[in-house]
Amino acid sequence: MKSNSDMNDTQIEIRATRLSDLPSLVVDCLNPTFLERKYLAITEAVPIGEALAYHANHIMAGYPHFVAIDGERVVGICDCSPSAAARIAAQTHNATIGMLLIPEYRGQGLGEKLLRATLAACKDRWGRIELGVYSHNERAHKLYLRCGFVEEGRRVGAWKLDGVTSDIIDMVYRP
């Protein structure tokens, strides 16, 4: 594992995701973060084939999809795709964004770079970019406010896992 000072010497690139990034994205980045069980709705490893197909479909569809790369290793992702409700004609202007970095790359400002790159790619595409953040996830909440998300509501006590109860804060960004 790298220390923060090691990472200062390393060039970490933020760029659009390539299909060739997907194995590392799933194995090095997504599944370990799901298994932390703290920040995301998914709290167990996703079968690799299923995750590869899901992200490949999004890239092929042209949805904004960015990674943070350290060498060949994917260390973070931010992607945006139509909300499930977008199948309803009157709600096709809604999209959902998701992001994560693996632990040793957090707290360096990379999340903000990833998020801003993804939001820029959402411009002129959707009217509302939605997300839900857990109230114990203060770093993510602060980042979203800093990047222009506003709170629309709070589902009090809607997140409960491993002895911790939190609110789900619904936030929206209007490109």
CB of 151 to ligand COA, least distance (A): 13
* Of 106 and 154, CB closest to ligand COA: 106
CB of 89 to ligand COA, least distance (A): 28
Q: Is the separation of the CB atoms in 119 and 125 below 8 Å?
A: no
Angle among Cα 53, 159, 155 to the nearest 5 degrees reads 105
CB of 20 to ligand COA, least distance (A): 23
CB of 82 to ligand COA, least distance (A): 18
Q: Which residue has the tokens 């060949």?
A: 72
Chain residues that interact with ligand COA, rule: CB under 6 A: 33, 39-40, 99-101, 106-112, 131, 133, 137, 139-140, 143
Torsion over CA of 82, 64, 147 and 166, rounded to 10 degrees? Answer: 50
Structure tokens at 42: 């998914």
* Of 26 and 99, CB closest to ligand COA: 99
* Of 22 and 168, CB closest to ligand COA: 168
CB of 53 to ligand COA, least distance (A): 22
107: phi then psi, degrees, rounded to nearest 5: 70, 25
Instruction: State in Å, rounded, how far the first CA of the chain is from the last one.
Output: 37
* Of 92 and 172, CB closest to ligand COA: 172
Q: Which residue has the tokens 């992200």?
A: 55
Structure tokens at 33: 């973060």
* Of 58 and 170, CB closest to ligand COA: 170
Q: Length of the chain in residues, anyone?
A: 175
